[in-house]
Structure 1
Amino acid sequence: MKENNKPGINTICVHTGEVKDEQFKGAVSPMYMSTSYAFDGVDVKRYPRYFNTPNQEMLCKKIAALEKTEDGLIFGSGMAAISAAMFAFLKSGDHVIIQQVIYGGTYNFIVSEFDKYGIEYSFTESDTIEDFESLIKDNTKVLYIETPSNPLLGITDLAAISNLAKSKDILTMIDNTFASPINQNPADFGIDIMLHSATKYMGGHSDISAGAIAASKEHIAHIWNTAINFGGNLSDQTVWLLERSLKTLNLRVKEQTKNAEVMALYLEANSDIDRVYYPGLKSHPQHELAKKQMKGFGAMLSFELTNGIDAMDFQNNLKLIKPSMSLAGLESTTVSPVQTTHALLSEKERLERGIKDGLIRFSVGIEEPKDLIEDIEQAIQKAKK
């Protein structure tokens, strides 16, 4: 055990939130698949949609421990977590401020749904604190950020956002998916609610769809009251798989982060690449800020191919790296944001956010960097022809 009797990160990953096998003393959590539990003579009336089956309840403890919060909730997808959190704290007549460059699914959710409910929203023009402050109104209830952002890896100042929000009695939410709890703990900087697409690093094997929220007991209780009505709970079989995956979270993310740093330096020096977006590079405009609030720079990066190299031609010629819709698996993947994550935005909206046709989002896996470099080199040469 470490100082203050707090377990280390690998110990949390492996042991916190285990379901004890009291009957057979197995080394892993038993899986409780029941959808029907006793209601009389029990301490907890359990029901899957109430997020409190044995496997759900214990997994929430692990996620809370990883994010250094009091409590957590798990959902069927990242968007289920985001929508439940937003609707729990926003009602007709309220106002939310959203960082300009965010995941396209979140953007589409806001612009497609909020008007129906009379919820006002404003997007910043950048990720500076001044932009957020200038948009605050008397009815502003939430500041929503994503850092590092998807897909351009922008960095938002967590402490500044938290201080601004607290001075105005406004709630803060962050999509912490790209960093994962291994590389960043926003609660350390005063952020109120941490959101994750647990499909990504928490799942880590490209075989789980899930979402997660970590926050104080008070905030989780408030979200729970809304979430039980939306029915976005996760099946216990997937809950069990997610707990299994979280046991290796630290090992996986550290290896992926190490590889991403190598790949970012290689891509930055490549004459066929116009620009690389990675907070670990000294050329990144917010590199120093990233150093202050991140424990590692993450395994996600993006790069722009030079004119004349078609993004899809390049990806179709990859042999090892997989062009794929999702990210954060053990295997390296690429995606064209204009065709996937940000396809619902107009061309004008994409360009305003710096998302060009030649942009490739690169999720770095655990393969040897030399093999990834060789694959990129041959794909570029074939795309040129």
Structure 2
Amino acid sequence: MKTKSLGINTICAHVGEVEDKQFQGAISPLYMSSSYQYDGVDVKRYPRYFNTPNQEALGKKIAALEKSEAGMIFGSGMAAVSHCMLAFLHKGDHVVLPQTLYGGTYNFIVEEFGKFGIEYSFAKGFSEDDFRSEIKENTKVIYVETPSNPLMKVTDLEMIAGLAKEHNLVSMIDNTFASPINQTPADFGIDIMIHSATKYMGGHSDICAGAVAASTEHMDKIWNISKNLGGSLSDYTVWLLERSLKTMALRVKQQSRNAKRMAKWLDKNEHIAKVYYPGLKSHPDYKLAKKQMKGFSGMLSFELAEGIDPNQFMKSLKLIKQSMSLAGVESTILSPTHTSHALLTPEERANQGIADGLLRFSVGIEEKADLIADFEQALMIVAVTA
């Protein structure tokens, strides 16, 4: 089956299945074994080598979704990020990154890279000159996250890929917020796509996983270090993730539609000071997002009007859950200061533009009218006390 000619829902539903040769079941069988025959077989399988039947098959689905040659599944999004970074960065090497990063990634870099003798620089902005000015003779990797967490900044992928090729660098992207449904960075020349599969790929707030897609050449290097670091995922969770991916396109398209509708509603509401969503024409990156994204994501952030307590507002919501993580079918809301970016100092958050009153809203698949009604009743409560 040639995946290039298949539609996205067909890829989600069919590519990367394990064939049930014994009973011809409609879904992939689950192989739970942690011990396989090694003599007289084509593949010596071992869970830590990322090549059990379910791991191997799901890697093919991830690769097809990201228009790449190979895919791997990890125990978490941070396992995927760290394994990719350490596969291409060694003592004396240097990496360029944007200043606005997921808090876990930022913390990993500033706390761990010094121990490995790896240097890093954060671009001061998002233009080509901002990234180019940070490239050094020992730079090996350029890493981006777009849209960014939590301010939804959009980085020009074609520009990043061009810089990487010009300087013989490996380009990496955290594509979690967009998902392969809304953005396929390989179309623009990006080398390695990374996901917290906990999010849109899992989609039901019950899986913790990471995923990587790349060329076979790049994936060989990632696998070579990953087999030693041991960040593999249990086959039961791999099986659950494959099941969840079957509906990813349907879920993400609905979440993206809902998010755009909610962003427009919030943008007109007198109790909302600012909305961060690249699908709004007022967003500074709207044209770029429209050029390189198929949809604008189910994620947005906003700041309440002055005097309204964000914590009281979140506690007043009845339908939307105050909860960590994101991208489940249910809508959730959180304060980045207390969750995703809690590991950063106040100064570091300020440098990224993350205000204490900023709220990140992961829009689910509920009816728009129900989400608006929940916001309205919560705003009515907090606006009275403001």
Same fold (TM over 0.5): yes
Q: Which residue of 2 aligns with 1:50?
A: 49
Matches within 5 A, 1:1-385: 6-384=5-383, 385=385
Q: In the superposition, relative to structure 1, how do residues 372 and 25 fare at CA in structure 2: closer, same or farther (>3 Å)?
A: same
- State the AA in 1 paired with 2:295: G
Which amino acid is the alignment partner of residue 184 of structure 2?
N
CA distance in 1, matches of 2:158, 2:240: 34
Deviation at 1:125?
1.3
Letter in 2 for 1:317: S
The answer (yes or no) to whether the contact 1:306–1:358 under 8 Å persists in 2 is no
**SS of structure 2 residue aligned to 1:145:** strand
- Provide the C-alpha distance between the structure 2 equivalents of 1:156 and 1:238, rounded to a whole number of angstroms: 32
What is the alpha-carbon distance in structure 1 between the residues aligned to residue 310 and residue 233 of structure 2? 36
CA 1:163–1:5: 2 relative to 1, 3 Å:
closer
With normalisation by structure 1, the TM-score equals: 0.98
Q: Return the offset for 1:5.
A: 6.6
**What SS does the aligned partner of 2:193 have?**
strand
Structure 1 vs Structure 2 CA RMSD: 1.1
Deviations 1:35-70 (A, max 9, x none): 000000000000000000000000000000000000
Write the letter of the residue equivalent to 2:368.
P
- What is the alpha-carbon distance in structure 2 between the residues aligned to residue 346 and residue 229 of structure 1? 32
Question: 1:366: Cα distance to partner?
Answer: 0.4
Contact kept, 8 Å, 1:146 with 1:156, in 2: the verdict is: yes
Structure 2 CA distance, aligned partners of 1:43 and 1:142? 35
- Does the CA contact (< 8 Å) of 1:94 and 1:120 recur in 2? yes
SS at match of 1:135: coil
Distance 1:274 1:125 in 2: 25
Q: Determine the C-alpha separation between the residues in 2 that align with 1:160 and 1:270.
A: 36
Secondary structure, counterpart of 1:116 in structure 2: helix
Question: What letter matches 1:60 in structure 2?
Answer: G
Structure 1 residue 91: Cα displacement: 0.5
Query: How far apart are the structure 1 equivalents of 2:352 and 2:124?
Result: 9
Partners of 2:305 and 2:252 lie apart in 1 by: 30
TM-score, L = length of structure 2 = 0.98
Cα distance in 1 for residues equivalent to 2:381 and 2:109 = 40
Distance 1:306 1:348 in 2: 23
Number of residues of Structure 1 aligned to a counterpart in Structure 2: 384
Sequence identity percentage: 67
* Partner Cα distance (1:178, 1:127) in 2: 17
Moved over 3 A (4+): none
Deviation at 1:321, TM superposition (A): 0.2
String of CA shifts for 1:132-173, please: whole Å, max 9, x gaps: 000110000000100000000000000001001100101100
